[in-house]
Structure 1
Amino acid sequence: MKNVGEAPREELVTGSRSDRSTRDRVARSLLDHGPSTVADLAGRLGLTQAAVRRHLDALVAEKVVAAREKRVYGARSRGRPAKVFALTDCGRDAFDQSYDSLAVDALRWIERHAGGEAAVAAFARDRIGHQAESYRAAVAAAPPDGRTAALAKALSADGYAAVARSAPGAQQGEQLCQHHCPVAHVAEQFPQLCEAETEIFSELLGTHVQRLATIAHGDGVCTTFIPQGPRGAPDGPRTAPHPQTTSSASTRTAGRNPA
């Protein structure tokens, strides 16, 4: 016999691993079935409505799910419209949508039919050039000794989780460390993406840079070394990098992790 006030079994499980698994089930149900009410989700997943609300609150806080009023077709009945929950763009991105596969296929087609490796390199430079427009003003506005940190902050806003730090050991300079790379799986097959990124870093910071490690190459962090300028800081933004310096440095050292 059930004791009065006893919580349902599902709600007694409070371990973080169990919670994460259940939240994944809630998100997957929204992906498969579209916007749903708490009652819909509870019925599909075999959970109590109280448990569903708890997991939805966590998913909303993580910006994976958003609440909105249920769309009504035809005459609206009295009372407040039911609330439904749907995945956000961020929530959809958490599921495999084959974007990487599509990008690889597109670049492979460019390589085969539109000019070979040189065409892929041109695409990579054009892509990062447009992306870097939002970085340029931030770096230019920073003092000489703060440009690497400004670039790291701008990259982080684009999802690269970047930080700037002093170079370890006897190296005179800084390291730009990117803990996440949104295009890592594509860059595994097309290193031109990493090489173009290295070139644009050189242009923005106004000095030659050296790529020491990349996530695409299997390292844990993308690491770029920025040497100390003659006055203790990079020289400042310049029009274009020296392609031989940046590209060759990327090729020679892409697999070395300085840590």
Structure 2
Amino acid sequence: MKSMPDTSNGTAADGRTRDRVARLLLELGPSTAVTLSAHLGLSPAAIRRHLDAMLAEGTITTRSARNPAPRGRGRPARVYQLTAAGHAAGPTAYEDLATSALSFLADVAGQAVVAEFAEARAAELERRVRAAVARADPADRPAALAAAMSAAGYTASASQLPTGVQICQHHCPVQHVAEQFPELCGAETAALSRLLDSHVQRLATIAHGDGVCTTHVPLETRESQRPEDDHDRAAPASSGPTASDGSATSAGPAVSAAPRSAPPVSTPTATSLTSSEGPVI
């Protein structure tokens, strides 16, 4: 297989490559960088960059090959293998079991049962993070939600854009199952909408092949959660002169200065929404 340069950029792409390395180590057992690069189609130097990062994370370890082949001069061959933490975090046969179980349910009881399961799973995520989101001010809730989801294993972040806030999930615990059952993604999106008490738009998903799961919280929705601003803008202006007792007069001297009109409220124009870390789906 022809070796290709490492074109990954950013946390999401690097994470996907390292997931593939972990899968290979599960399938092949202890392997050299040359073996891994041949299977993935990347150069040994590119693979070593990912292996060094995985060593720092503690998901793999390295040792000298027990029966090294003659190499001539240079360093002895080293092999890489998953640690206990790497086995726990990496893909396992449970993914295949979960997919098979949902397929069986769909065949026996219908697709509606799969949707019901997806909603129950999303409700459990909602229960786990609700308190952290509720404690935050409305404007800070997307960031609070991202932090709570990171603690739940989603490696999420929130970023401010001119059109609103984007919540990006760099890891999906059910990625391979959701590839066959998109109901899981739909139920999760509905849960995020309930947690933020606003309309949200899912722009990209890892299950569909994108680098991250991207959820957009539109700006106009977040502004509607700040009623105090609307109250300040709605202060009535005087319509004319009044008598000393406060009642309106039918006629009176000309007012020397016209009442200052409220500044116009700008309405956000429709813009095309794109994911900052992945293509729009």
Structure 2: distance between partners of 1:191 and 1:28: 29
CA distance 1:18–1:152, change in 2 (3 Å): closer
Instruction: Check the 8 A contact 1:156/1:162 in 2, yes or no.
Output: yes
Q: Identity percentage over the alignment?
A: 46
Determine which of 198, 201, 217 is the counterpart of 2:192.
201
Matches for 1:40-119 after TM superposition, within 5 Å: 44=66, 65=83, 88=84, 90-94=85-89, 96-114=91-109, 116-119=110-113
Instruction: Check the 8 A contact 2:106/2:114 in 1, yes or no.
Output: yes
> Which secondary structure state, in structure 2, belongs to the residue aligned with residue 132 of structure 1?
helix
Matches for 1:220-259 after TM superposition, within 5 Å: 220-229=211-220, 232=223, 234=225, 257-258=279-280
Instruction: Check the 8 A contact 2:199/2:221 in 1, yes or no.
Output: no
Unpaired stretches in structure 1, ≥5 consecutive residues: 1-14, 31-40, 47-54, 66-87, 236-252
Structure 2: distance between partners of 1:45 and 1:158: 42
- What is the aligned partner in structure 1 of residue 161 from structure 2? 167
- Aligned-partner residue type, residue 257 of structure 1: P
Q: What does the per-residue CA deviation read over 1:127-176, in whole Å, with 9 as the maximum and x for residues that have no partner?
A: 121122121000000011110001100111122121111235xx2x2111
Q: 2:152 matched to 1:158?
A: yes
Instruction: Check the 8 A contact 2:132/2:144 in 1, yes or no.
Output: yes
CA distance 1:167–1:141, change in 2 (3 Å): same
Instruction: Check the 8 A contact 1:144/1:233 in 2, yes or no.
Output: no
Q: What does the per-residue CA deviation read over 1:11-36, in whole Å, with 9 as the maximum and x for residues that have no partner?
A: xxxx8956949x99xx9999xxxxxx
Instruction: Check the 8 A contact 2:60/2:86 in 1, yes or no.
Output: no
- What is the aligned partner in structure 2 of residue 133 from structure 1? 127
Alpha-carbon distance, 1:91 to partner: 2.4
Alignment TM-score, normalising by the size of structure 1: 0.56
Alignment TM-score, normalising by the size of structure 2: 0.52
Instruction: Check the 8 A contact 2:156/2:169 in 1, yes or no.
Output: yes
- Aligned-partner residue type, residue 211 of structure 1: R
- Aligned-partner residue type, residue 200 of structure 2: V
CA RMSD of aligned residues (A): 4.0
Mark the structure with the bigger radius of gyration: 2
- What is the aligned partner in structure 2 of residue 213 from structure 1? 204
Instruction: Check the 8 A contact 2:139/2:222 in 1, yes or no.
Output: no
Alpha-carbon distance, 1:228 to partner: 2.6
Q: What does the per-residue CA deviation read over 1:72-106, in whole Å, with 9 as the maximum and x for residues that have no partner?
A: xxxxxxxxxxxxxxxx3x22235552121111101
Instruction: Check the 8 A contact 1:209/1:227 in 2, yes or no.
Output: yes
Count of paired positions: 177
Unpaired stretches in structure 2, ≥5 consecutive residues: 1-44, 69-78, 227-273
